[in-house]
Chains A and B, each alone.
Chain A
């Protein structure tokens, strides 16, 4: 055996465990899920191929329609809010302010705590009786009634979005802050010499400097938010009457009713859109890695 061959064999052996485990635990189940979504499998039986029946059945269900609409709403609204809040706070912390390190640490706390803890806490905050939010509103005199934030249709969705923005904005904040720190100071000075005002400097120097990071962050955050389970499960379980039903929760309910084929079809429905987001994100992340 030549040295070169031995080296190559060594390289393959090092990478093999991870590749095999990923093939077995991610790639195979992924393909299996697609197959199952075309069968009438229930727990304890092998399913029959039934073509698109599951998908047709789902498309006629009102709950499924609600799940599509709610998932899109949560993703879009919380992306916009997280971008606004994350960018705003990153710009503030990026200034030469005494104490900014402390602010940065504090603003990261929601990211550092477990997601399930965050959403359980928000559930307690949203309680109509004894919940922190109603208490604050009452004691500051802003509102004197009792609002059942998670229990009524008008407020449930906004409440879920606020909690998930609270938990999710630090990721945007820190990513954008790191990007801001890579923009060379000279560019700002050059723009100032050219007579650009603060607003023009923001558009011609800051925005191009952080654009790449914002795009990747948006893609990743959309993928994660569309597939998040905890926020809805721990706050509302999809209720009241499907007002906050989202894809993953619906798939979980399908699993509980033992109709696996149908449950898998719920997840597979997301695949086209999700696939595009994942492929875009992968390409951008690989490109950034190569640089």
Chain B
């Protein structure tokens, strides 16, 4: 009898266990709800961008819909047939790739020098690089546009590349220093004993071992140049030198706002970065948190 009673009436320990389990379950439900809501708020604008790019004008303005009745490629066709946007995307690629290559090479040299050698001014140079990284473009765009005009590089992709180095060099040098510090000195010394020069040790040992860091730096530099608007707006005056952000931002200053083609352009401009993000998310997130990268 007493056994049956004990089985039927749960003891206090198991009540506490059930309570704890319920509380955990409740906490989980709450967590998923909150995260789900956040994900929804993050995804909706992206959804809206894609869906607008696939809508006919009448579903954008007169009969707006959350889910288009007709999907169309017209907006993409219209944007791409013009030629201006294709040229802008090409310009963006040229500028971003050039900036990336120059920054990665020059800043690997600088970062290696600062991590491996001790010399006067090293601390000062480190501070200068960090200052340069945090000096905002809004302070530099006026004097830089004057300087570029004096150098006769005002309305040119070469000028843009030079100007973009102002943010890419400090950022890459700062980040690479962190990665190079993680390369064990012994490996390099072994290489030197085996007959490598210092330069050889940098190229054959340090760079390959810092490959994830180099990848992150290359991606950040590329993205920074790809996204830049203010300098381009100030420096570039002719249509043939426009970059993608510039070409799209001129679309919204016209009187008629062509939302369909605009969002088609937004989708196309996002594609290279989204691919990079999905391929290299791990490196990027690590680099971002270690080096404080705006993105």
Contacts and interface: CB of A to CB of B under 8 A. Distances in A.
Interface residues of A, number: 95
A130 B31 CA distance: 33
A113 B35 contact: no
Interface stretch (B3-11, B77-85, B183-191, B244-252): B244-252
Contacts of B109: 14-15, 17-18
A21 B269 CA distance: 29
A116 B131 contact: no
- Secondary structure type dominating chain A contacts: helix
A88 B252 contact: no
Contacts of B110: 14-15, 17-19
Contacts of A224: 136, 294
A238 interface: no
B174 to A, nearest CB: 8
B98 interface: no
Contact of A285 (B52, B107, B292): B292
Given A114-B227, A117-B270, A255 B234 contact: yes
Interface in B96-125: 106-107, 109-110, 112-114, 116-117, 119, 125
Contacts of A223: 134, 136
Interface string A23-61: 101111110110010000000000000000000000000
B39 interface: yes
- Secondary structure type dominating chain B contacts: helix
Contacts of B146: 32, 36, 260
Nearest to A237: B253
Given A25-B144, A105-B281, A264-B142, A30 B130 contact: no
A278 B134 contact: yes
Contacts of B230: 229-230, 233, 248, 252
A129 B252 contact: no
B252 A123 contact: yes
Interface string B225-241: 01101100110000000
B44 to A, nearest CB: 7
Contacts of B134: 220, 223, 278, 281-282
A216 to B, nearest CB: 7
Interface string A107-138: 11111111111101111110101111001100
Nearest to B259: A124
B207 interface: no
B223 to A, nearest CB: 7
A121 B49 CA distance: 6
Nearest to B227: A114
Contacts of B166: 22, 25-26, 29
A286 B259 contact: no
B130 A286 contact: yes
Interface residues of B, number: 92
Contacts of A97: 28, 31-32, 35
B252 to A, nearest CB: 7
Given A116-B229, A255-B142, A267-B142, A111 B295 contact: yes
Contacts of B140: 26, 29-30, 33
A286 B127 contact: yes
Interface string A259-280: 0100110011011001000100
A244 to B, nearest CB: 15
Interface in B248-295: 248-249, 252, 259, 262-263, 266, 269-270, 273-274, 277, 281, 284-285, 288-289, 292, 294-295
Given A178-B289, A278-B134, A229 B248 contact: no
A270 B32 CA distance: 43
A110 B226 contact: no
Nearest to B35: A103
Contact of A95 (B31, B132, B223, B248): B31
B193 to A, nearest CB: 15
B173 A18 contact: yes
Contact of B295 (A7, A117, A171): A171
A150 to B, nearest CB: 11
5 smallest beta-carbon distances between A and B, as pairs: A227-B136, A248-B138, A14-B113, A11-B117, A29-B143
7 contacts: A25-B163, A25-B166, A30-B139, A108-B281, A108-B285, A175-B289, A233-B249
Interface of B: 28, 31-32, 34-35, 38-39, 41-46, 48-49, 52, 60-62, 64-66, 106-107, 109-110, 112-114, 116-117, 119, 125-132, 134-147, 162-163, 165-166, 169-170, 173, 177-178, 198, 223, 226-227, 229-230, 233-234, 245, 248-249, 252, 259, 262-263, 266, 269-270, 273-274, 277, 281, 284-285, 288-289, 292, 294-295
